[in-house]
Structure 1
Amino acid sequence: MKILGFSAKKSDRLAIANYYAYRYNGFDMKFHSHPNAEIMYNDGGACEIYWKTGGGSKRHSLKKGQFAVLPSQLTHMLYVPQGGRCDILNLELTISSEAGLPCAELEAAGLSFLSGGIVFAEDTASVGSTIKKLHEELGSAQFNAGSGLQTAALLAQLMVMIARVSHRNESESSYIINKAMKYIENEYPNGISSRDVAESMKLHPVYLERQFKKHTGKSMLAHINYLRVERAKQLILNTALPLIDIGAECGFNTRQNFYETFKKHEGCSPSDYRRKKKERTDSSYRQTPYETEQENQPE
């Protein structure tokens, strides 16, 4: 089974390997990876987390009250701009054969974030305060077997909290994307841009664009243009409207934009598309099915 990037056996346990609280001032970390998974909570200030992907790297801004879950062996780095600061509460997790939470029970509990990739979320379920309690428990001078049980209980509580917050964030993201899609479908003929979509929803354009691409695999502009081209094809086939009017009716702001976007999608210009469809239609009327059947009859 996969647990936070680890290949774990059912007999394995998820345990805390290390913990720290640190204030980073103007910090530029190098890309690195390590065997432990991490939970990073921003307790003050701001930072950026970069991580490597197959095609380069990605970035996420982590603000106060937000947290990140980074799986084992992820190549990543932390960046705090010069003059800035960020207070990080960190837990490093590992797989153990002795102490910790049974991996089989975690899997049975359906904590889906554990088998996934990176998690970024807003703390709406006391994630930060639970991490602080874990820090206090782990740093206690009276740490004993009883404290170990308390640590395990807090870690289990933390896992459930993260799962709930992650699920809530996914639901909120789905709502945002559905709302954006509905706006685009209603307004694409009016020459809207991706910024117009974001403004209508009172969201930052970069945030909405990131969420949209994450859920649909394409940018908002790509989806807008797809709808425009599909509508243009319908009008070209079913009306005698001039092409310049069709472009305007579909939301293209210039004739050139209409031509270039249409050709990119269909491999030909709007005029060539109309001509080819007309030729195909004309040829189908040259012979009726009855005439074709008669021609094929033996003499």
Structure 2
Amino acid sequence: MISGDFYQDELWQGFYSASISAFYARKLDYFDMALHAHSQVEIMYVARGRAHLYVDERQSAVDNSHEQISAYILKRNDLIFLNGGVRHRLQISDDCRIYNVEFAFRKNDSQRQDSLQGLVQSSQELRKFLDIKRSHIVIQDAAGRIENLFGFLMNELSPYKNGSVEIGAGINSDIIDNILKIIILLVARSGSRDKSDAGEIYVRRALAMIDRLYDTDIDIGQISSELGISQAYLHRLSKSYLDTTLHTYMNRLRIEKAIKYLENTDMPIVDIAFSCGFNNRQSFYKAFYKYQGCSARDYRTDFLARKDRLIGGHDME
């Protein structure tokens, strides 16, 4: 196994595959990991809640330069890619669910067509990402595509005990390899863009407004007016940078908040709808069914039934 720099020319010019060496899917209420680094490349995805992550690129611990310390608040559907050897620290102070994989690289026994060499030959965005050589990058997965891939990945990884394997071996599975390669390509798609692009600045400002004002009657037209650009232009930007629309992102966020109310309160459903920013019951019912595949009432009923069964099973032990 070869660990370390994601951008080693040897990996992308020879017959190598990425191989997962550690992974986890965890729900954390509190967590404070000391500053550390490891030789494997790491991808961390926030599926729920928030996490504070600090990236320290100083050359030594006695270096007093603060310009090389970056701090991020990772929210739902945020992902961070960390190259091997990059020091970082994770802090969580509230309910948060995280997916995490670490991977190194293995040399294939034969000249397989599905090697990393073939991957880079087929993707201009990956080639550009390799040229830029980012030590780390934060990505907003507003459409939830990478989240779905992590769900599939964790399901495939579940037979492996303790979330880790010997570094010398790695996990060898065609399905796992293919899912990981798709995730790498999606990271490269975002990472190959110019981060000083004014278009991305508009999109990130729009996302911040939605995160702050989702429970009001804010709409995309008001957001575009606040940003000083047309609604049509903002729509094109969101499709380009997020692979989805801001309207879809806002509805997904509102439904996520509604689910918390359904699971943790006895608030009437119509009140939940208005508390999450929907201005009428019909739009809430339609959005909830679209993203959950059932009505809000059925969701609450099923959740309470599952909860009662779990409590009942515990009491019988």
TM-score w.r.t. the length of structure 1 is 0.51
Partner of 1:98: 108
> Which of 13, 18, 40 lines up with 2:44 in the alignment?
40
Partner of 1:26: 30
Write the deviation string for residues 26-47 of structure 1: whole angstroms up to 9, x where unpaired.
2221100001111111011101
Is 2:202–2:227's contact at 8 Å kept on the other side of the alignment?
no
For 2:181 and 2:190, how far apart are their aligned partners in 1? 14
Q: By how many angstroms is 1:148 displaced?
A: 1.7
Equivalent AA in structure 2 for residue 92 of structure 1? E
Is 2:18–2:105's contact at 8 Å kept on the other side of the alignment?
yes
Is 2:44–2:101's contact at 8 Å kept on the other side of the alignment?
yes
Q: Structure 1 pair 124/45, CA: closer, same or farther in 2 (3 Å)? A: closer
Counterparts of residues 1-299 of structure 1 (less than 5 Å): 4=6, 6=8, 8-9=10-11, 10-11=13-14, 12-54=16-58, 55-56=65-66, 57-81=69-93, 84-98=94-108, 102-108=115-121, 109-110=123-124, 111=126, 112-114=128-130, 115-125=133-143, 126-140=145-159, 148-167=173-192, 170=194, 173-175=197-199, 201=227
Q: Structure 1 pair 177/41, CA: closer, same or farther in 2 (3 Å)? A: closer
Range 109-118 or range 30-39, more displaced = 109-118
Is 2:137–2:191's contact at 8 Å kept on the other side of the alignment?
yes
Is 1:47–1:85's contact at 8 Å kept on the other side of the alignment?
no
Is 1:29–1:77's contact at 8 Å kept on the other side of the alignment?
yes
For 1:7 and 1:33, how far apart are their aligned partners in 2? 22
Point out where structure 1 has 5 or more consecutive residues left out of the alignment: 142-146, 180-198, 203-299
Equivalent AA in structure 1 for residue 6 of structure 2? L
Point out where structure 2 has 5 or more consecutive residues left out of the alignment: 59-64, 161-171, 204-224, 229-317
Identical-residue share of aligned pairs (%): 21
Is 2:18–2:177's contact at 8 Å kept on the other side of the alignment?
no
SS in 1 for 2:198: helix
For 1:66 and 1:176, how far apart are their aligned partners in 2? 15
Is 1:123–1:165's contact at 8 Å kept on the other side of the alignment?
no
SS in 1 for 2:86: coil
Give the number of the structure with larger relative contact order, counting CA–CA contacts within 8 Å between residues 6 or more apart: 2
For 2:40 and 2:197, how far apart are their aligned partners in 1? 29
Q: Structure 1 pair 155/58, CA: closer, same or farther in 2 (3 Å)? A: same
Q: By how many angstroms is 1:92 displaced?
A: 0.7
Q: By how many angstroms is 1:167 displaced?
A: 4.8
SS in 2 for 1:17: strand
For 1:138 and 1:32, how far apart are their aligned partners in 2? 25
Query: What is the count of residue pairs matched by the alignment?
Result: 176
Write the deviation string for residues 136-183 of structure 1: whole angstroms up to 9, x where unpaired.
112248xxxxx8222222122222222234456x4794325699xxxx
TM-score w.r.t. the length of structure 2 is 0.48
Q: By how many angstroms is 1:117 displaced?
A: 2.2
Query: In terms of Rg, which structure is larger?
Result: 1
For 1:173 and 1:92, how far apart are their aligned partners in 2? 30
Aligned-residue CA RMSD in angstroms?
3.4
Q: Structure 1 pair 176/160, CA: closer, same or farther in 2 (3 Å)? A: closer
Q: By how many angstroms is 1:52 displaced?
A: 0.8
Range 14-23 or range 59-68, more displaced = 14-23
SS in 1 for 2:97: strand
Q: Structure 1 pair 122/172, CA: closer, same or farther in 2 (3 Å)? A: farther
Q: By how many angstroms is 1:15 displaced?
A: 1.7
For 1:136 and 1:90, how far apart are their aligned partners in 2? 13
SS in 2 for 1:128: helix
Write the deviation string for residues 120-150 of structure 1: whole angstroms up to 9, x where unpaired.
1111450011011111112248xxxxx8222
Equivalent AA in structure 2 for residue 105 of structure 1? G
For 1:49 and 1:178, how far apart are their aligned partners in 2? 23
Equivalent AA in structure 2 for residue 85 of structure 1? D
